[in-house]
Amino acid sequence: MAANKVAYLSLLYMTLGLVLVATVSADPDLLQDVCVADLSSGLVHFQKNNGRVSAAVIAAFNSQLPGTQSIAATLFAAQPPVPDHVLTKAFQVGTKEVRKIKSRFAPKK
């Protein structure tokens, strides 16, 4: 899951499994069993289960307004919309692919 953390600081406490945790600006960490990772405010980051079985992580936020924001929804369902040419350049895909992704985030009718 890719997200931009709104909270000031969050901790991920790995309780079970093997999870890859990384921010866009740093080298990834591989959390295994009882490990802890801290993520600073505003950094785009992701967590990915790297094991063959389910993983369990406990997240803690140090903020009055904890939460996350989905990068995909932020970019592809923004109002006003992010222009297609900006997304095609950023993700190095064609306009057709950008519109296909945007259609998946369109509000249900």
The residue among 101 and 90 whose pLDDT is bigger is 101
The structure's pTM equals: 0.51
Which DSSP category does 94 fall into?
A: -
Which DSSP category does 81 fall into?
A: P
State the average pLDDT over residues 26-32.
Answer: 61
In the chain, what is the straight-line distance between the N-terminal and C-terminal CA atoms, in Å? 26
Closest to 26 (Cα-Cα) out of 9, 40, 12:
40
Which DSSP category does 108 fall into?
A: P
**What pLDDT, on the 0 to 100 scale, is given for residue 7?**
43
State how far the alpha carbon of 76 is from the alpha carbons of 17, 96, 109, in Å: 32, 13, 17
